[in-house]
Copies of this chain bind each other. A is one copy, B any other.
Amino acid sequence: MRPAQVTLAVVLQVRDGRLQVLLWQRAEEPFKGAWSLPGGYLAPAETLEQSIRRHLADKVDVREVAHLEQLETRSDPERHPGEWQLATAYLGLVPSDVNPALPEDTTWHAVGRLPELAFDHGEITLAGRERLRAKLSYTNVGFALAPDTFTLSELRDLYVAALGHAVSATNLKRVLLRRGVLLPTGELRPSGQGGGRPAACFRFEHSRLHITDPFAVLRPPRVID
């Protein structure tokens, strides 16, 4: 006897200044009517990543998911009341400037104010947020939350929404520039109606995950030539 295998995705995007997750309202029992993470069964001859991309394709265009990584596999035999089911969860990130057309039964929900979710999807969603928060600190994942080009205040607002605490645009700029994560594009963004100095535009140097702060401590000793 073998368990069923499903894939799930915690798809996160910053919308209206808040970190939001894509949820789907179940049409069938169990948990009929409850909100849950998008996903579905694994098909023969596909990988887990292919599977979650396929299931997500109904919700968001593939090109709109800028980053996708495996979170964890959940295996509690009681997690699904009806069948023996393993679920492998992925974390997906969508840049803030795209607005995917969604099916009727699918909408964005603030991660900070989640409704009661089906199965163990609430825990999984929070695990996804934790992963994102951690990686914002030591990698360049920001690229997956931001538009191609942006001002520093815009980027700061994305970090604030994702991290849940104040972030200084001043210092954010210096940290990311020193690490070579950001590049100035040279363009200026004209000021808004209230006036103010025009903002410089930046973009992320790479659009794939890189670790930018590899060892907090216990660095290898400096090599002297």
Size class of the contact patch on chain A: 35 or more
Q: How many copies does the complex hold?
A: 2
Interface of A is mostly: loop
Residues in B whose Cβ lies below 8 Å from that of A72:
70
Of B48, B175, B216, B220, which is within 8 A of A218 by CB? B175
Q: A3 on the interface (CB 8 Å rule)?
A: yes
A to B CB contacts below 8 Å, 30 in the list: A1-B44, A2-B2, A2-B3, A2-B5, A3-B5, A5-B5, A5-B86, A42-B75, A44-B77, A44-B84, A45-B77, A46-B77, A47-B76, A48-B73, A48-B75, A48-B86, A49-B75, A70-B72, A73-B88, A75-B88, A136-B218, A137-B215, A137-B218, A138-B216, A159-B218, A163-B218, A163-B220, A175-B217, A213-B216, A216-B216
A interface residues, Cβ below 8 angstroms from B: 1-5, 42, 44-49, 70, 72-73, 75-77, 84, 86, 88, 136-138, 159, 163, 165-168, 172, 175, 213, 215-218, 220-221
